[in-house]
Structures are given as structure tokens and as C-alpha cells.
Structure 1
């Protein structure tokens, strides 16, 4: 690997964790310098490890790593670890689990009382939102004579909120997904968050027509007004980085369903490898439907996403496994 920036150096450390974790507790790489936290009595070993890893890029006498572009160097400070270095805590973020052996924490978060079902696609334009609406219609047909039979339908596509745009004329004084994220970011009391959200959501609906009647499901649009969409404050990523809130989003959605007498939450996520979607995708309790066309890009991208989701997933009888909706199948494609 060529080292053009400090980020290349950080990635190189993370990719080669197995070669240094016996002597090094953690490594902090910054744009200007590097701090290596040596385990007790392992400082001499650290020098040997750095020489072996970075070879001619490591200046032994000056304790610096030279970059391969320009004349930049990153000074390396070796400290004995006092237990305060950052560990390898798993967060439901692609960037966090990339260099981990598992995408999931050792202790599974508390079970959800009501299902949270996420729809995702690697690329846009493959019918993800349409699949969610078709699923909601099929659900409405099956459940129309049962109670409860209504859903919470969430437009969580922050960059291209399709369902929100379709419902724009009916969104006056509604409550939005970005409102909910702000409440979660600023509060630790889940009951308070859920109570505040439910007090506004009662008036926000989306109508799904069955074979015999119309059912009004609760709808959570992405935003209430345009400035909220452009001037973002809280995002799924910022919440996942908050202590104790890593897996709170799914729990809040589930609890809203409980309080409002709804069956389940359907969530339309942002396409691609996006931290706007990772919080729910990497939550082992959330049911995932990946929507794909038969194009090479869509298929390869879906495989790429599945590698993340299957890394360290405990396959048991009650595991919540991802499934695939295949759309746009040409007549020439054999079964």
C-alpha cells in the first residue's frame, strides 16, 4: 500500500491488526501525528513491529512514518497503555465494523417488542420504495380484518426522500424522521422520546387501499420543512456514536408501534454504503429486505452488503436473516 495521507496509514494499521495486537493495545492516527499505546513492558517490541510493517517508510532514528507523496512525515509517539486508550467497541456503522471480525456486539441488544422491517438497495432505481409499498399493501390485505392491522411507515432516505415528496401536500404540521432523530440525540429517556413523537404522529397518515377498503397507516416523513433536510443536526451516525444509544433507533421505532397500537414499522432506507442506513442494517434485531435488479452492478453491490451483514452473524433457529427481493427480471433470464 502507498501512503498518500494519514488515513492510508490508519487503514494499514487496522488491516494488519493481527501483526501488532500482541504488543500494542491501540493506535491513534491523526493528520499530524500518531500515538501508539504499548502494552506493559512491550515498548521495545513496538519499535520492531513498526520497522517490520512500514519498512523504508519508517525512520527509526526520528520515529516518523514518511508518506509517499510530498515531503510529509507523521511523528510517532510510543506510550505505555494505562487503560485509557480507545478500544475496539462495535458500533452499527460500516466504518466501525470494517476492520472487526464481527459486525455485531457480543451481547445482543434487548429484543424488540414489535418488528422493525428495513428495505434497502445497493443502488437507486431498482424499486426499493415500490417494493416497500407493495409489501405494505400485501400486509394490509392479509391483516385488514385483524386488530391491530396498521403499520408505521418511515421514509428514512435522508438524501432522496421519495415517499415524503409524494405526500408533500398532506404534510402540514406533521412530525418528521429528522425530528425523531433530534429527540433521540438530545434525550436519554426513551419514554419521553416516544411520548413526544406519538403526540404528533397521530395526524400523519398514508392511505393504502386493499381489495375491500382503505387503511390509513401512520407515516413518518423525512422532513417537515426544507431547511431541516439541508441543515442536518442529528443523523443515525451521530446517534450511533453517542454513548448508550448505539442501537436505540430500532427500539424507539418499535416502542412507537406499541404505544400507537401498530403492528410493525417499515423503514425505507438510503441506498448504497451509507451511514444513514447502517444503524438499522447492522442491528441484528431488524429484519432486512434487500431490493435488487438483475443488473451486474446491483447484484455485485448486494453481495458486497451481505458480506457485512453475515460477518459474525450468529445463525440460529430464531436469527433474523436478510432476504432479497429481485425486481426487473427480463424474460430472457432463465429460472
Structure 2
């Protein structure tokens, strides 16, 4: 049965039904993968199982699945204007493929190109070695809630407690820390956007060259005892981001290379904590860290209805995609502010 909040306008909605069905119960064993296109839905199935898969599709897409028998013109009836019926053809493709194993956690919000049969629980990234400093990420559903101020306040509190800190402006659309400290650090030697681009082109799987270079450059970016890594070297370059965090997630063998690199950079600098002020909202710019269960994820919200509801949605997403299950995984924290 199609969920009541879904309307089948396009293949995107048809795929959403499949994703929802996976959350409710496992797919039939004979359904291996699904791949949606603008003009068709292709299902990878085991040989000789067309009848059972069609029966399942009839249940999942009832009453929109149209079985045309042996003709092979099965389809799903889409939302249509009166007198102009629209359909999405279904192609059943026999395959002997096996789902990828292990099924690794990928820290992004984008829908996968291929939806695979789930065979096991998602494999979380390896626990950080004890000699790496913790990575703390501040995030919020909306801007203007005091997230950046709290990140700065924690950095100052740690410095007052004789701790060493690397503070990173991870907001690549509306930098806050970079703007606040621009007069103190008008010509930063390196920035967060540089780090992302360097890792993307790094031949070493552990980004060793990037970390060595960044460590040398950041020595000249010390403000009040805090190492500062702004989002950009020049704030006027906000529209010049060629390589984004999601490019690292999708294009690197290690989907958590960004978190790993920031932790190793912190170790190379000799800091006790790495603090990152992230982009607000459900954004791929922040997903790499908020969907990493090893990160200390701090969510900041006001008491407004929009902020509370959005933050609750964020926490639900984290619980679904990247929960803190292992003893070493820190639990997410919530800060409620009195910002109007």
C-alpha cells in the first residue's frame, strides 16, 4: 500500500515508496536492487521469479501497479491530468549480482543511485585511535540561534582551561567565525575550502601530504591561543567553491576521510580538541560530520516552534542513519538558547 503522504508524480516518488517499504520490512529475497530513471523503474531480480516479484509490487503499489501479464508492459500509474494518463514502465531484469558487503555507512543525505537489498546492518567507521583529539561539531536546523557564539565560547573556555584548540569555520555558505575574526586574521594562510580541495586531489589514501602542508601553514593562524581555519582565505570567494565536502564522500574510498583528516590535523598541531562550526540546515555541507557517529555532535536550537521541530527532525535523522551505538560513540547533545 502506498503511504498516504506520497503522491506518485514522478520516478522520484516511485522510488520513495521502495525506500519506505525497506524501512517497514525486508524486501523479498529475490529482489536484489532497484534503479529509478525519469522514464522507467528497473528492478534487478533473481532468474525465474517474475511472478512473485509482480505479486509483491501489486501489494506495495496498490492500486497503482498495472500488470500486463506476458506482454511485459508492466507499469505504475502516475498522477495524471484528466484524459491524459501518465505511467512509469517497470523493467524486470534478471541478475546474479550480490549486494555489496559489508554494507558501509555513507555519511550523506542524497538518495543512492542504486537501492540495494539490505543484507545486514550498516558498518560504522573504525573507532578513532586514542592518540587522536576528539572532533566536536556544532550544528543547527536554522541560522540565528547562537550556534557560532557557542562554538566560540567553548573554544575560549577550553583555552582558559589550558587546552589547545583548532577552530574550523565549516559553514561554506554563510561563514560566521571567518567574518567575526576577519580583522584579527585578515590574510589567513590556508582555509577549510583549501583542505577539502587538497584532500580531493591527494594521492595518499590518508591525505598525509595535505595534513603536513596544512600543519605548517596553520602555525601562522593563531588568534588568542586558538588555531583558526576559516572557511575561505578571502570572504568574497563564497561562490568559488569548486570541491565540496560531498565530493570527498562520494569520490574517496574512505567516506569519512574528512573527519579522519581533521582529527589527524588536530594531532599534528598538538591540540586537545578540534571544533567545527557547520552549515545550518539539512545540507550536504554538514552531513559528513553530523552523520559520523564518532563525532561529538552538538545541536543548537531556540525555543521557537520552527527550530524545535526542525531539530527534532535532525535528531530523528541521526538516530536513523548514524546512531551512537558503540561505547566509544559519543551521544549527541542539545543546547537550547534564549535567542529570540
Structure 2 unaligned residues grouped into runs of 5+: 1-5
2:338 aligned residue: 328
1:141 aligned residue: 160
Report if aligned partners of 2:155, 2:226 keep a CA contact under 8 Å in 1: no
2:80 aligned residue: 69
Q: Report how far residue 188 of structure 1 moved.
A: 4.5
Q: Report how far residue 176 of structure 1 moved.
A: 1.1
Change (3 A) 1:30 1:89: farther
2:3 aligned residue: none
**Counterpart-to-counterpart distance in 2, 1:232 and 1:72:** 40
1:255 aligned residue: 264
1:91 aligned residue: 106
2:173 aligned residue: 159
Q: Report how far residue 206 of structure 1 moved.
A: 2.8
Which deviations, in whole Å up to 9, do the C-alpha atoms of 1:157-177 show, x marking residues without a partner? 111101112233423252111
Which deviations, in whole Å up to 9, do the C-alpha atoms of 1:123-176 show, x marking residues without a partner? 111100000111111111111xxxxx3211000011110111223342325211
Aligned pair count?
314
**Counterpart-to-counterpart distance in 2, 1:227 and 1:314:** 38
**Counterpart-to-counterpart distance in 2, 1:156 and 1:54:** 42
Q: What is the TM-score of this pair, normalised by structure 2?
A: 0.84
Q: Report how far residue 276 of structure 1 moved.
A: 0.9
Which deviations, in whole Å up to 9, do the C-alpha atoms of 1:195-215 show, x marking residues without a partner? 1222322222333xxxxxxxx
2:20 aligned residue: 15
Change (3 A) 1:252 1:243: closer
Report if aligned partners of 1:3, 1:69 keep a CA contact under 8 Å in 2: no
Choose which of 233, 247, 250 in structure 2 pairs with 1:224.
233
Which deviations, in whole Å up to 9, do the C-alpha atoms of 1:204-258 show, x marking residues without a partner? 2333xxxxxxxx2111111123574313222222211124221111111111111
- The CA RMSD measured in Å over matched residues stands at 2.6
**Counterpart-to-counterpart distance in 1, 2:39 and 2:98:** 21
Change (3 A) 1:53 1:315: closer
Report if aligned partners of 1:111, 1:285 keep a CA contact under 8 Å in 2: yes
Q: Report how far residue 315 of structure 1 moved.
A: 4.2
Change (3 A) 1:297 1:173: closer
**Counterpart-to-counterpart distance in 1, 2:104 and 2:227:** 35
Report if aligned partners of 2:295, 2:329 keep a CA contact under 8 Å in 1: no
Instruction: State how 1:265-304 maps to structure 2 within 5 Å.
Output: 265-304=274-313
Structure 1 unaligned residues grouped into runs of 5+: 144-148, 208-215, 331-335
1:35 aligned residue: 42
Choose which of 187, 194, 198 in structure 2 pairs with 1:183.
198
Change (3 A) 1:110 1:242: farther
Report if aligned partners of 2:133, 2:273 keep a CA contact under 8 Å in 1: yes
1:123 aligns with 2:138: no
More RCO (CA 8 Å, sep 6+) = 1
Q: Report how far residue 109 of structure 1 moved.
A: 2.0
